[in-house]
């Protein structure tokens, strides 16, 4: 069973071909970083136009590398949401066209489910497991019980972690995107120099908050009374990164307590999403998992950020359970993995 996956939810135009033997036959990602860098962030209209301009070529390249043709496909999958709606529409429309022309089933994939199931593609992980989904737009802890079966334990009550990295990078006059830039600066920094808060640490729930931490960085910069030196930028970056890792590890420890009380034999903590590429966060989660006697599963860096392979795999998982979608499927700017979860409200919340 071979599935083509298309991802256009944000600023990567991606297509991949995956089979049910967990082989990634091709994975092509075209980044739009250079197009958005002058603006210090993603411009939705520029992103949508770039997807429209490049998607056909990206799909053709993925099919060429995989050495397959459209008749070889079992299904065509595309991110149906959540995401920037213009980009999602481009991917969904293209996937529908391919499915209609070649008589193939169309599968609409929740972008977050793509991240959630990546560990099954890379590591063959069994259900259930605890998932930390941490990216530019999302920060959640979920129990993954099966395909399409997700229970949210916690979410951000304001900004997502990746968004906080981007905004702190901008305050420190670092490059875009902010996550890698902060990590690079932090390598030369002293993480103990600036006393920054650990939002939500010690609370009984599993929610996150990063808005106050971001404000604390701004106040530390203002407290200098001048532009920070190169050394101070490094120290601020290291202090901020350490605070994020500390807070996230604390929230994961709380979630692991809840998860293992219900699933005593649940043996894995999975981290996915763009911020999962952060080395310091991985170190803290590795230590946490070891102390709790569970396995930490973190996908390869290329599969942490948005990619077509995770969409192809999630589409394959859904399709082999008998799920497909009609060609009148409507793209969704918001699509929670756990629709029954309490509503999260606050600046930056994308549920």
Q: Angle CA(50)–CA(54)–CA(59) in degrees, nearest 5?
A: 140
Ordered by start, the domain boundaries in the chain are: 2-116+302-319, 127-301
The whole-angstrom separation of Cα 173 and Cα 148 is 41
138 burial via Cβ count (<10 Å: 0-12, 13-18, 19+):
buried
The pLDDT, as a whole number, for residue 350 is 53
The pLDDT, as a whole number, for residue 347 is 46
The pLDDT, as a whole number, for residue 265 is 84
The pLDDT, as a whole number, for residue 136 is 84
Backbone angles phi, psi at 96, to 5 degrees: -60, -40
What is each CA distance from 205 to 129, 242, 260, 280, in whole angstroms?
19, 21, 15, 24
pLDDT in tens, the chain (351 residues): 999 999 999 999 999 999 999 999 999 999 998 899 888 889 999 999 999 999 999 999 999 999 999 999 999 999 999 999 999 999 999 999 999 999 999 999 999 999 999 999 999 999 999 999 999 888 999 999 999 999 999 999 999 999 999 999 999 999 988 999 999 999 999 999 999 999 999 999 999 999 999 999 999 999 999 999 999 999 999 999 999 999 999 999 999 999 999 998 878 999 999 999 999 999 999 999 999 999 999 999 999 999 999 999 999 999 999 999 999 999 999 999 999 998 776 544 555
Q: Does domain 127-301 have CATH number 3.40.50.1100?
A: no
Q: Are both 2-116+302-319 and 127-301 of the same fold?
A: yes
The pLDDT, as a whole number, for residue 345 is 63
The whole-angstrom separation of Cα 128 and Cα 250 is 21
The pLDDT, as a whole number, for residue 137 is 86
List all residues 6 or more positions away from 233 whose beta carbon is below 8 Å from its beta carbon.
Answer: 172, 173, 174, 185, 189
Structural tokens at position 351: 């549920």
The pLDDT, as a whole number, for residue 165 is 96
Among 245, 258, 158, 254, residue whose Cα is nearest residue 202: 254
The whole-angstrom separation of Cα 239 and Cα 193 is 7
The label of the residue with tokens 């990078």 reads 169
The pLDDT, as a whole number, for residue 107 is 98
The whole-angstrom separation of Cα 298 and Cα 272 is 7
- Domain 2-116+302-319 top-level CATH class: alpha beta
The pTM (predicted TM-score) of the whole model is 0.94
């Amino acid at each position: 069973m071979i599935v083509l996956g298309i991802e256009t939810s944000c600023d990567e135009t991606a297509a991949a071909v995956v089979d049910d033997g967990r082989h990634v036959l091709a994975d092509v990602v075209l980044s739009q970083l250079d197009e958005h860098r002058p603006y210090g962030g993603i411009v939705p209209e520029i992103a949508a136009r770039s997807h429209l301009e490049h998607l056909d070529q990206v799909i053709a390249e993925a099919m060429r590398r995989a050495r397959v043709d459209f008749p070889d496909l079992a299904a065509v999958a595309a991110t149906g949401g959540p995401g920037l709606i213009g980009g999602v529409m481009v991917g969904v429309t293209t996937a529908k066209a391919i499915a209609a022309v070649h008589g193939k089933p169309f599968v609409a994939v929740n972008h977050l489910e793509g991240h959630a199931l990546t560990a099954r593609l890379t590591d063959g992980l069994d259900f259930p497991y605890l998932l930390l989904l941490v990216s530019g737009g999302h920060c959640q802890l979920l129990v993954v019980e099966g395909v399409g079966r997700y229970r949210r334990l916690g979410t951000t009550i304001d900004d997502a972690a990746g968004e906080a990295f981007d905004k702190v990078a901008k305050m420190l006059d670092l490059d875009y995107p902010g996550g890698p830039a902060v990590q690079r600066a932090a390598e030369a920094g002293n993480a103990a120099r600036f006393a920054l808060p650990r939002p939500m640490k010690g609370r009984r729930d599993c929610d996150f908050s990063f808005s106050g931490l971001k404000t604390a960085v701004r106040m530390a910069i203002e407290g200098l009374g001048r532009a920070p030196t190169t050394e101070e930028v490094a120290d601020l970056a290291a202090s901020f990164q350490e605070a994020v890792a500390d807070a996230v590890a604390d929230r994961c420890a709380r979630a692991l307590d809840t998860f293992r009380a219900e699933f005593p034999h649940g043996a894995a903590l999975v981290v996915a999403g763009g911020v999962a590429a952060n080395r310091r966060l991985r170190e803290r989660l590795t230590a946490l998992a070891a102390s709790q006697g569970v396995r930490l599963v973190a996908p390869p860096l290329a599969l942490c950020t948005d990619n077509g392979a995770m969409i192809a795999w999630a589409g394959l998982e859904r399709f082999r359970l008998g799920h497909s979608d009609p060609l009148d499927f409507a793209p969704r700017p918001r699509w929670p993995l756990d629709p029954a979860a309490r509503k999260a409200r606050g600046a930056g919340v994308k549920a």
